[in-house]
Amino acid sequence: MYEEAIMQFEAILKSQSQRIERMKNAPPPKNHSALSKIIIGVIDGDGIGPIIMKEARRVLECLIKDKLQSGKIELREIEGLTLENRIAQGKTVPDDVLLKIKECDVLLKGPTTTPQKGSAVPNMESANVLLRKELDLFANVRPVRVDEEGIDWTFFRENTEGEYALGSCGIDIDGEYSIDFKVTTDEGTWRIAKAAFEFARANKKTNVAIVTKANIMKKTDGRFSEICHRVAADYPEITTEEWYVDIMSANLLNKALRRQFQVFLLPNLYGDIITDEAAQIQGGVGTAGSSNIGSQYAMFEAIHGSAPRMIEQGIGEYADPASILKATEMLLRHIGCIAEADTLYNAMKKCEEEGKAVVTGDKKGATARAYTDQLIKAIESFI
């Protein structure tokens, strides 16, 4: 058994060395906003995904109607990234689906279900994690704003390394114990740190908080911290702080302290946890959008899951589309549709202020469709 584990670990080391070489030899970044034609792949996902994605598409078609008609932008439906099809084909992302995805420039994606170990369905890898690795979407960027409290946060979470990179590659030893692996590379850390500091400089931010557990995870988090500080030296006008993830999770709840933070730079797992906490402070995980940015592709999605319980309870139509709509706003900004993104932001704010169609996630509130009806009216009032 030990020999088998050693062979598996050797294979992991080789695969990571190959990945590092691919990062070093990656093509120059693609400027999506400069493309003569932009193909947006639309993926419904599982559970409440098709419900909220239907509303996101209505909003998108309203905002970019002229660009769709002129052929500047194409919306392309991508089918097959459902749990049922993935199980039937025995693949986290079926080959034909992945090929269609790679024919697009950016993606707007609904939530997909990741089966849990011990459930009645196969223990498959997360489709999100696999897509992030396949498309090399190394930067997960999540903004959180609470205007009345002076909170304006942007989180840069490394998206392809850490525990998630090898989460399905762990080893069981003789039925007695298990080992999972965490990986941090110089190349992977440098590019996420560079993205965070470039964003801070471009947006006149003065504070970047590096979040690790480098006092305990001395090799991986220690390397992440060291490289981030090395990058920070090129941005002397920005104050760089380092916090451990446990105290940072407390700081976000400290109203006397939290408004001082602006940009956060985190490894994969900590970023996943902290951004959900931040979204809850904003109003819930259903209120935040998420972008996954790479040099060639970008994917925009809601940060919440597929909510199978809502479907089981027959209340899927009451799902809140706010998160996927905020992801839509981020997508529009990424492809250079700044005016359209501003219109969506202002329209959502107007709907919030008017309170005519409030989604609560149950039958006491509005349906996703009713909210979107009000949102489109608001959009049209700004156009």
Q: Over the stretch 105-125, which tens digit does the pLDDT of each residue have?
A: 999 999 999 887 666 677 788
Contact 347, 379 (CB under 8 A): yes
- Model pLDDT, residue 287: 80
Contact 339, 379 (CB under 8 A): no
Q: Judging by beta carbons within 10 Å of its beta carbon (0-12, 13-18, 19+), is residue 315 exposed, middle or buried?
A: middle
* Sheet strands (E) in the chain: 38-43, 73-77, 106-109, 139-146, 151-158, 171-173, 177-179, 207-212, 239-244, 263-266, 289-293, 298-302
- Model pLDDT, residue 275: 94
Residues in the chain: 383
CATH architecture assignment, domain 31-137+294-383: 3-Layer(aba) Sandwich (3.40)
Each residue of 128-168: pLDDT tens digit?
Answer: 989 998 999 999 999 999 989 999 999 999 999 999 888 87
Each residue of 214-243: pLDDT tens digit?
Answer: 999 999 999 999 999 999 999 999 999 999
The DSSP result for 88-156, as a single string, is HHT-SS-HHHHHHHHTSSEEEE-----PPTTSSS--PPPHHHHHHHHTT--EEEEEEEEGGGTEEEEEE
Q: Residue 307 — pLDDT band, cuts 50, 70, 90?
A: very high
- Model pLDDT, residue 96: 97
Lowest model confidence (mean pLDDT) among 52-61, 76-85, 107-116:
107-116
Q: In sequence order, what are the beta bridge partners of 253?
A: none
Contact 160, 132 (CB under 8 A): yes
pLDDT cut 90: percent of the chain above it: 84
Each residue of 357-378: pLDDT tens digit?
Answer: 999 999 999 999 999 999 999 9
Where are the chain's structural domains? Answer: 31-137+294-383
Q: Which residues contact 6 (CB under 8 A, 6 or more apart)?
A: none
Distance CA 220, CA 181 (A): 10
Q: Which two tokens stand for residue 291?
A: 């972008």
